[in-house]
Amino acid sequence: MPNEVNKMPITRNDYRSDEIDLRVIFDKIGNGINRIKKGIVYTINLSLRRIKLISVFVIVGLALGFILFKATKPYYTSTMTLVLADIRNEFVDDQLSKLVEMIEDDNFEAISQKLDITQESAMQIKDMTFSNLDENRIEEDSILTGSPFRIELKLYDNALFNSMEPALSNYLENNRYFSKQKRIKQRQVESIILKLKDEIKSIDSLKTTVATPRGPVNGFVYGEALDPTTLYRESVGMFKEQAELEAELNQLDNIQVVTGFSPRLRPTGPSLLKFLVISSAAFFLLGLIYAFLQEKRSKRYLHS
């Protein structure tokens, strides 16, 4: 019966089989560690025995690393920070990502068209990265709007940073969607300013009439007395509102530069130390492999 089989007691043999299995596993782990230790010791001893041979490989690696360093074109790195208007950051993120793709593809013709720079200047761009400064400050389900961006640019010509700053700003600003939103807001603000100017002109005319009444007016409009103080207050309030709107009109750009690219005199790369370390380490491994092969040949020769 199935139930009787399930109810059979666990015997000592079952415990012993479990203990044997664990011992086998631990034995394999121990043997693996011992082999690794022996391999490390053998490698160290081999390196000491063949130190002259391996040193030659390392010296060749250092020389090759230095040659590659000299052959690599130096580049300069600088950053700029942009602040957005009421624009979703993912839109700017997408637009900058497309520009990065063009740079990675070495599509210099497209880069020169998008940034409105010469193709020779586009060829001086080594790399570009960007980051959203407030990306980690919002919840996952929230939509980030108007957050600043930081753009890091690597150029082979440090004199181009001054021209790249407006080029990148205009590239983002001239987006069709951004331009449309800007024109809508501009027309709206201009209409309000025009209305305010008409109102201020009307109040100024009324103030003149009250101050120097002619004929039967005598400071009354439609049977109500006019207070010059109220008219002046209304005029000043409208003028302040007009000034604020005109200032807003001058700052309607969707993209504004907070911190521009700083000029760089010394190149940030390539790193000589990095070239030397990588090349010497690679040639050290090659020398070690060659020494190991030499060691095997020597043993075969002795046995034969």
In a domain? residue 24: yes
**Checking DSSP bridges between strand 220-221 and strand 149-155, what pairing results, if any?**
unpaired
- Kind and range of the H or E run holding 259: strand 255-259
In a domain? residue 21: yes
- The pTM (predicted TM-score) of the whole model is 0.61
239 and 290, same structural domain?
Answer: no
* Domains: count for the chain: 3
In a domain? residue 283: yes
pLDDT in tens, 144-197: 566 788 999 999 999 999 999 999 988 888 877 677 767 777 777 778 878 878
For 175, residues 6+ apart whose C-beta sits below 8 A from its C-beta are: 91, 95, 254
In a domain? residue 109: yes
Tell me the torsion sign for CA atoms 160, 165, 169, 172.
positive
Last residue of a domain, one of 128, 147, 175: 175
202 and 168, same structural domain?
Answer: no
In a domain? residue 265: no
For 301, residues 6+ apart whose C-beta sits below 8 A from its C-beta are: none
Distance, C-alpha 126 to centroid of its chain: 15
**How many other C-beta atoms can be found within 10 angstroms of the C-beta atom of residue 114?**
19
Last residue of a domain, one of 157, 175, 193: 175
Q: Each residue's pLDDT tens digit in the chain (304 positions)? A: 445 445 555 555 554 555 556 777 777 888 888 888 888 888 888 888 889 999 999 999 999 999 999 999 999 999 999 887 766 777 888 889 999 999 999 999 999 999 999 999 999 999 999 988 766 555 555 555 667 889 999 999 999 999 999 999 888 888 776 777 677 777 777 788 788 787 777 777 766 666 565 555 444 444 455 566 776 777 778 778 877 777 666 666 667 888 889 888 889 999 999 999 999 999 999 999 998 888 888 777 766 6
Look up residue 196 and give its two tokens. 């305010």
In a domain? residue 52: yes
Domain that holds residue 153: 74-175
Look up residue 87 and give its two tokens. 């624009």
234 and 214, same structural domain?
Answer: yes
CATH code for position 110: 3.30.70
Look up residue 105 and give its two tokens. 């593809």
